[in-house]
A and B are shown apart, each in its own frame.
Chain A
Amino acid sequence: MGFLTYLDRIDRRIMYLLLAVVVIVPLIFPIIRQKTEITPEVMKAYEAVEKLPTKDAPRKDYKIAVISVFFGPGTMAENRPQMEALVRHFFRRGVPFGILPFDQAGTTLAYNKVDQIAKEMNKEYGKDWIAFSWQPIFDQTLQAMATNVPRTLGRDKRYNAPLTDTKRFPIMEGIKTAGDFSMVVEVTPSGTVPAWISYIGQTKKVPIVYCPTGVMVPEGYNFLDAHQIVGMLPGLMGAARYEAALGEKGFATRAAGSLSTSHVLIIVLIILGNIGYFMSLRQRSSS
């Protein structure tokens, strides 16, 4: 009885502790096994990446993929797992790619993550992947890339060396215009994908994979229906589904797990609260 009435007024600190546990533990140890079904828009993205030319492709159709990093710390929880899932896929298939940051704080966040993955899959910077330097301006950069990529993007992030230095960066061999992009992955919390579509996607016939945050998803489907983007990873769950398609259990899968656990925790707490509420009501009426 005493315990049941205590359920009416559980101390908030205990609830916070519980939340911290149910979120952090599944993040670190993949204990939550849940079937994440692969929705069509994610499958389309996966298949598009499967078709990309690898770095051993003959010179004439050698191209690199570009991951546009538009997220900052605010939305990195949703956006970085999306980037991670695609990066793993690129590395696995040996698709050469560069990360192109437009958000100043996001530059480091994205770089750290890719660097970490590259280390564990022992890939080589400058050969398998490259990080371009932070681009403060957006639209003009896209337009300029249509004509000349190395001059527009200038230098890389790690060595701050010019991208034209193909001895150091063999990955940039023969990459001249945006037409040499095999794919653009737009990881963004804001409505930036139309610019990519109009400047690069439509004009240069480059397939675009769109990775929006949860709130931006609905309008993303319009682009998908109009075939302006080849695929989409809607929010954190999208990243988890992509990992499911990859057959991996990466951060996104674990994060999806802790999303589930946290929601369940809330629901359980609500139920407990109501039990306690009834108990204390009965106690009052009886006393």
Chain B
Amino acid sequence: MFFVPLRGYSLGLAIGACVVLGVLLLFLLTQVPHRYRKPIIIGVTFLFGWFYFLEFMIPGDRATAPVRGILRSAEHKLRLAQTDLEAITVIKGQLTVQYVEGGRTVKRLIPKDELKNLELDKGEVKVVHEDKDRPRLGEHDGVRRVMRAREIMAAAVADLRRAKSEIERLRPQVQRQLDQESKKAEAEAKRYKLTKEMLARDEQGNILNQRTKALRKRIDDLKDAAQKKIDPTIATIESARSELGNLSTADVESIRSVAAAKVEDVSLARSTLSDNFLTPYKETASNINAVIGSFAIGLGVFGLMSLHGKTIRRRRRGWINSLAFYVALFAMALVGFLQKYLQQKSGGQILSDALYSGILFNGAYISLQATMFSLVAFYIVSAAYRAFRVKSREAVLMMGAALLVMLGLVPIGQWMTSGITHVGWLGSFRLERVQDWIMTVPNMAAQRGMAFGIGVGGLAMALRIWLSLERGAYFDKQL
């Protein structure tokens, strides 16, 4: 085992060695002849992409493969049953409602789904009587469908049970592996005399290195899948079956929605069990990325400081502003560090905290952000005024949509069409409904049409960069 935590002098030495090694490497890189430079960069680029590519493309590991297979088939069956349930026609229970209109009480017979709209129209509405119709199973040979749905559900439940037993068989194995791993780790800890804070431990006191972490996560996933996902699914589907059993189900909808939710659970369980051998290292990779990336902030700081420094030195116009920049920069950074690293509740810490949280951050910084953002309110007015002219067909379309949506959102607009009743098909011409329709149907579709193009373009560009096929400004340069 090469990567062992160290402490004391040896740690210092190791770090020093790493730094020296790094400097040496950098020196060697400066000596690389020009013709070898591009290939090196191409190789590095490809390798770093390769990790994430494989992590995504390789399916989950072999141990949990059988479970996933069973779950997949169960999911498939449940979805098939779903389609059958969808096809059952249900006559909505008719409601006899009663409400006060113009001083006198009115009694009416309405379909169930009209109730909400009627409430919006008339305010207080009392349901006097609800007659639950049996779902009509005549159309699309519904009886056969229900029968088949029940059969498939039964098969699915059987699958789920198998999956559960499979998981139960798996868990002790993984546990054993975990124990071995943590034993190894403990032994190492003893051998290298590691102190407590040098070891990451979990609540059971096992030492967690990369491998044990992965195993522990695997165990938790198995437990979660078995108890949180599969068990409830079995229960629900069973009850749904029995409900469907006697063909007098009043609310097929509820069964449908419940079943649908459970299907999602199953597919979720499947995905939680699908770690492959690279997945545990994803976190490490992103950490490395973040750390190395954040070394680059110096570039920004130096850039800004040199720019404003020049302005101050040469007393250019507005050098006072550059000075203000410097003051703000140092004040914020300094106060931030002081309030974090001075020991708690010491005078300096309290003062710097007051300056930081009270004045600089919550006082100035946040207000500046919020106000800059709120400027958009003004610019949106002038932009609308200028752009929405009846110049071209396109401009007209834009203007029309914008006007409709704006009116539909505010009370005044809603008041304009408040004459139209909520009930029935007429109700869909109320401005707020029109607004809702525009946003959810044409707008959604258009956005999606654009999104696909953008997605494909991005993927293609990523591919070009990954394989260093990209051309243009930065990539053409001879090194």
Contact = CB atoms under 8 A, between A and B. Distances in A.
A binds B: yes
Given A19-B381, A260-B411, A263-B412, A273 B388 contact: yes
3 tightest A-B contacts by CB?
A260-B412, A73-B370, A105-B362
B386 interface: yes
A202 interface: no
Contacts of A35: 411, 415, 418
A274 B386 CA distance: 9
B119 A269 contact: no
A21 interface: no
A148 interface: no
A141 interface: no
A104 interface: yes
Contacts of A39: 120
Interface stretch (A8-16, A80-88, A118-126, A162-170): A8-16
Nearest to A278: B390
Contacts of B425: none
A108 interface: yes
A264 interface: yes
Interface in B363-411: 366-367, 369-370, 373, 377-378, 380-382, 384-386, 388-391, 399, 403, 406-407, 409-411
Given A19-B378, A263-B407, A269 B367 contact: no
Interface string A35-50: 1110110000000000
6 contacts: A15-B378, A35-B415, A104-B357, A256-B411, A259-B411, A267-B407
Most chain A Cβ neighbours within 10 Å, of B116, B373, B385, B407:
B385
Contact of B415 (A12, A34, A105, A274): A34
Interface of A: 10, 12, 15-16, 19, 23, 34-37, 39-40, 72-74, 104-105, 108, 237, 240, 256, 259-260, 262-267, 269-270, 273-274, 277-278
A269 B383 CA distance: 11
B309 interface: no
A34 B411 CA distance: 7
Contacts of A278: 390
Given A39-B120, A40-B119, A270 B384 contact: yes
Nearest to B414: A37
Contacts of A104: 357, 361-362
Given A15-B385, A73-B366, A104-B362, A263 B377 contact: no
Given A39-B120, A40-B119, A273-B389, A12 B382 contact: yes
Contacts of A240: 411
Interface of B: 116, 119-120, 357, 361-362, 366-367, 369-370, 373, 377-378, 380-382, 384-386, 388-391, 399, 403, 406-407, 409-415, 418
A72 B367 CA distance: 11
Nearest to A273: B385
Nearest to A109: B362
Given A35-B415, A105-B366, 16 more contacts: A15-B381, A15-B382, A16-B382, A23-B377, A36-B411, A40-B120, A73-B366, A73-B367, A104-B362, A263-B406, A263-B413, A266-B380, A267-B407, A269-B384, A270-B384, A273-B389
A113 B369 CA distance: 21
Contacts of B362: 104-105, 108
Nearest to B370: A73
A263 B409 contact: yes
Contacts of B366: 72-73, 105
A25 B116 CA distance: 36
A20 to B, nearest CB: 8
Contacts of B385: 10, 15, 266, 269-270, 273
A265 B390 CA distance: 18
